[in-house]
A and B are shown apart, each in its own frame.
Chain A
Amino acid sequence: MPVEFAEKTVPPGRGIFKRFKGNIEAIAIGVKYFFDPKRSTLIYPKEYIKLRENYRGFIVLNAKKCINCGSCARICPAAAMKLIRRPYTDPKTGKTRMKLWPVINYNRCIFCGYCVDVCPTEALHHVNYHDVVFDNMEEMDQTLESFQQAPEHPTAKEGIPVRYIIDEEKGLVKVRVEGGEQ
């Protein structure tokens, strides 16, 4: 197959006229954006991005679905997911025995989402936010109980949820969406 390359040369730009034109164009575009900045800054704590449902945010365990297979801990590339031994009472037979449950350590997690994707029963899922506050490092090491609850999302309490949509003219356009907790 012939390999296509396009020979190009840099457009000429020397000469007083070209330079003059270049200066005028540069200033003109600056003035244009000065009067019509088309900005899309997120004013963060007042507004926050409501991320899409498929966002790989913090991870929550649904212990009812978990079959204690340990796949999530095995595939975790950062060794963030580990298994702990906890007694478990079977509701049908009433017998209690020790089982391995996954817990996550957010000190280590890189949010690759492998664990969620590998879980055979969909016992793990992502929440669609990532701005969570921990007071100290111990808190980031989740317990089996805290791992089963979605972490608190402080910005949703006071902020206005927005989402960016892509626009031909302006690039990103901020639109308000439903769903704030305020």
Chain B
Amino acid sequence: MSPIISDIIKIIIWPPLWQLIVLGLLLPLGVVVFIIWFERKTAARVQRRIGPYHVSPRIAGGLQLVADLMRYMFQEIIIPKTVDVAPFIMAPLIALILSILPVVAMPFTSNASYFPIGMRYSLIVALALITLSPIFVIVAGWASNNKFSLIGGMREAYLITAYELIVMVSFLSASAATGSFDLVKIVEAQAGGKWLGLLNPLALLAALIGVLLSTSGFPFEIPESEHEVVAGAYTEYSGLVYGINMGAAYLKRMVYSILIALVFLGGWRPYTPGPGFVSGYLIPSIVVFIKATILMMIFSFLRAVYGRYRLDQALDIAWKYIFPLAVAGFGLSLALAYLGIY
């Protein structure tokens, strides 16, 4: 192999870059495309329909999403005269970047040479980065200068107040149990089937509901509720920019799912990463992605079963029931730590 090629390969698999581009953007995008297809197919099955079909009947309409993507790409991007153009265009892009950024803080292996950014506080950093993107949804709603967008953005703002604390407390219960903010240590502590999600189901449940709240999944699909606010903050968007908005929402959910997989579902365990790129990096990250995808599928399934709560009811549930649940999960984690399980 000539030195240039091997240099290029080295740059490509340089962990921070590989992590952000491949594991943060490309692979999640593939999963998201699968999940959107799966969501439509699941809803169709539960509702006794067929779902996407005609684009590629042999593989059950699998190419429908590609067709949709093409449509978004070639659709005219309409920018209404009344919007504030700069934030209107920038907000979805920044939201997209911010929703995949947390991946750089998440190690997918215990092999130290493949840490994206080695640090002792990776859980805190990941959580902090995750909470940035909703601000740009509000910015998008505000910049659209449309009553529905504005209401949608405001609803998002209301929901942030509800889910942020839940998500924080429930994820930090892992730190309480294992005594570490380092995701690698948290995952390694769960080796041997001692998954935190099994030993501490309260925190897992609180985290799952928190994620549903934050990514407006059913039954909390409130900011985009079609029958009151059309498409919420995204009402004025069209074409590719709208596609980016939607993609960002799914990517955000994917990143949350990865984090749950790491923190509660044992990360790359039961696989033990070895040396080298394949066994030390590729396989563990695939294990994590499979776990995250299963979580995504569960989230998607709920669409077929639930309607949506009212905004005040969602806040009510979040503060009255889920927040205490998260605190109880934190307490349970302390108990686990006290008993010396981790």
Which residues of A are in contact with B by a Cβ distance under 8 Å?
A: 26-27, 29-30, 33-34, 37-41, 43
Q: Which residues of A contact B47 (CB under 8 A)?
A: 33
A22 CB to closest chain B CB, in angstroms? 11
Nearest B residue to A33, CB-CB: B46
Interface: B306 (CB within 8 A): yes
Q: Is the CB of B53 within 8 A of A37?
A: no
Residues on the A chain within 8 Å of B302, using CB: 27
Q: Which of B156-206 contact A (CB under 8 A)?
A: none
A30 touches B48 (CB 8 A): no
Q: Does B50 contact A (CB under 8 A)?
A: yes
- Contact between chains at A34 and B53 (CB < 8 Å): no
Q: How many residues of B contact A (CB 8 A)?
A: 13
CA gap between A39 and B48 in the complex, in Å = 4
Contact (Cβ within 8 A) B48 A40: yes
Q: Is the CB of A38 within 8 A of B42?
A: no
Which residues from A are CB-within-8-Å of B49? 37, 39, 41
Which residue of A is nearest B54, CB measured?
A43
- Asked whether A39 and B50 contact (CB < 8 A) given A26-B306, A27-B305, A30-B301, the answer is yes
Which residue of B has the minimal Cβ distance to A40? B48
Known A39-B50, A43-B53: A34·B45 in contact at CB below 8 Å: yes
Give me 7 other A-B pairs in contact (C-beta within 8 A), A29-B305, A34-B42, A43-B50 excluded. A26-B306, A30-B301, A30-B305, A37-B46, A38-B48, A39-B45, A43-B53
Can you list 24 A-B pairs, Cβ within 8 angstroms, ordered by A? A26-B305, A26-B306, A27-B302, A27-B305, A29-B305, A30-B301, A30-B304, A33-B45, A33-B46, A33-B47, A33-B48, A34-B45, A34-B46, A34-B301, A37-B45, A37-B46, A37-B48, A38-B48, A39-B45, A39-B50, A41-B48, A41-B50, A43-B50, A43-B53
Nearest Cβ in chain B — how far from A32, in angstroms? 9
- CA A45 – CA B239 in complex, angstroms? 30
Q: A87 vs B48: C-alpha distance in the bound complex, in angstroms?
A: 57
What's the Cα separation between A30 and B44 when bound, in Å? 11
Q: How far is the CB of B318 from chain A (nearest CB, A)?
A: 15
Rounded to whole angstroms, the CA-CA distance of A57 and B49 in the bound complex is 27
**Nearest B residue to A172 by beta-carbon distance?**
B48
Residue of B nearest to A29 (CB): B305
Closest A residue to B53 by CB, please name it: A43
Chain B minimum-CB-distance residue to A45: B54
CA distance A43 to B52 in the complex (A): 12
Taking CB atoms, residues of chain B closer than 8 Å to A38 are 48
Q: With a CB–CB cut-off of 8 A, which chain A residues contact B45?
A: 33-34, 37, 39
